[in-house]
């Protein structure tokens, strides 16, 4: 009996509440109360939706910056006293802490495919390539944990094909043009990359404009917050390195060409392609680069930068080498 009375009382209370609410919203008072209620809550919802849309719009217009690393030799990861070591560390932290990329696509001076064909590493797991000789035995035991992305590799091949560039997927390890410098910039323990890394070849030719167009073909990856990195050296003459027995005093062309490259890269984006094409014809260009393999990645990076400004963030002239580091585009503020 008590349960029946309790249930009856509950139903009566609910009925009274429903009746009161119905009266309130059917009375003249609702003309005052309802707009206030609606305005408050609709304003709240609209504000939050606008903020969300604004944030999404900002993210959509923010392109990932493009980088050029002067990566050094296989000793760079061991020579912690070299001036470039903390520079590469800082660039790496900038990328992982501020850019927070979805993936990284890298073009190294140590992989040239064919004169008119680009190859893309489409494997998810690959070994390292120890493409050097005459170094201590431990150098050939170096490791660098990484994972590729067959999906991203396929997308890159599609972009290249759409741009009229012949491209194909292959299985290949990472060469030291990538893993030596990345072991400093993205140290596996201190600053791990933790995103897919896909390496793309250069053309096996000396045509700087073809490499500029190669960068243009993959530029849209930046819209997805994918960082594009060219890895080479701004001046790279191994013949003179051996001839001078590693004397660190800069050879004249190390300074003159490195500075000419800076002027061209930092020129207005509307002039940059032509200016960069011209410096490859300078008399000191072939002194600075007897072969253009280590120079080509900066052309790829510049091509991928679109209308974004290029900036040399650091350099060092050392014997027959120069270590310029470049960034194209802006780094996110947070």
**Residues 195-216 pLDDT 10s:** 999 999 999 999 999 999 999 9
> pLDDT band at 5, cuts 50/70/90?
very low
Helices assigned H by DSSP within 103-204: 150-162, 176-185
Minimal CA–CA distance to 176: which of 246, 127, 235, 122? 127
Residues ≥6 apart with Cβ < 8 Å to 13? none
Residue 23, pLDDT > 70, answer no
- Which residues lie across from 197 on neighbouring strands? 104
Residue 231, pLDDT > 60, answer yes
Backbone phi and psi for residue 153, each to the nearest 5 degrees, phi listed first: -60, -40
Question: Across all residues in the chain, what is the average pLDDT?
Answer: 87
φ/ψ bin of 271: left (φ > 0), alpha (ψ from -120 to 50), beta (otherwise): alpha
DSSP state at residue 308: S
Both tokens of 120, joined, read: 């893309």
Percent of the chain scoring above 90 in pLDDT: 80
pLDDT score recorded for residue 333: 85
| Least confident window among 11-25, 81-95, 222-236 | 11-25
Both tokens of 103, joined, read: 């993936």
Q: Is the dihedral of CA 129, 132, 133, 139 positive or negative?
A: negative
């Amino acid at each position: 009996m008590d349960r029946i009375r309790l249930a009856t009382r509950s139903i009566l209370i609910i009925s009274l509440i429903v009746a009161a609410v119905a009266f309130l919203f059917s009375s003249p008072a609702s003309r005052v109360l309802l707009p206030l209620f609606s305005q408050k809550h609709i304003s709240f919802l609209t504000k939050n939706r606008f903020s969300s849309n604004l944030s999404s719009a900002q993210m959509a217009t923010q392109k990932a910056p493009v980088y050029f690393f002067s990566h050094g030799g296989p000793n760079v990861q061991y020579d912690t006293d070299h001036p470039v070591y903390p520079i590469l560390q800082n660039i790496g932290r900038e990328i992982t802490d501020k850019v927070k990329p979805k993936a990284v696509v890298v073009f190294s001076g140590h992989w040239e495919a064919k004169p008119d064909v680009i190859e893309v590493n489409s494997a998810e797991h690959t070994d390292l390539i120890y493409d050097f000789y005459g170094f201590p035995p431990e150098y050939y035991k170096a490791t660098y944990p990484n994972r590729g992305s067959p999906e991203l590799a396929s997308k890159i091949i599609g972009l290249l094909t759409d741009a009229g560039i012949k491209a194909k997927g292959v299985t290949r390890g990472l060469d030291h043009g990538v893993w030596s410098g990345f072991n400093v910039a993205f140290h596996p323990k201190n600053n791990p990359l933790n995103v897919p890394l896909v390496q793309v070849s250069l053309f096996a030719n000396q045509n700087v404009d073809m490499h500029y167009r190669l960068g243009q073909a993959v530029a849209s990856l930046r819209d997805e917050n994918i960082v594009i990195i060219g890895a080479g050296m701004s001046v790279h003459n191994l013949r003179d390195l051996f001839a001078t027995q590693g004397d660190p005093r800069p050879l004249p062309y190390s300074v003159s060409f490195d500075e000419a490259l800076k002027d061209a890269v930092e020129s207005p984006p509307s002039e940059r392609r032509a200016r960069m094409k011209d410096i490859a014809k300078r008399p000191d260009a072939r002194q600075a680069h007897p072969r253009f393999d280590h120079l080509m990645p900066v052309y790829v990076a510049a091509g991928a930068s679109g209308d974004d400004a290029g900036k040399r963030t650091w350099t060092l002239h050392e014997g027959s080498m120069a270590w310029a580091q470049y960034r194209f585009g802006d780094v996110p503020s947070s």
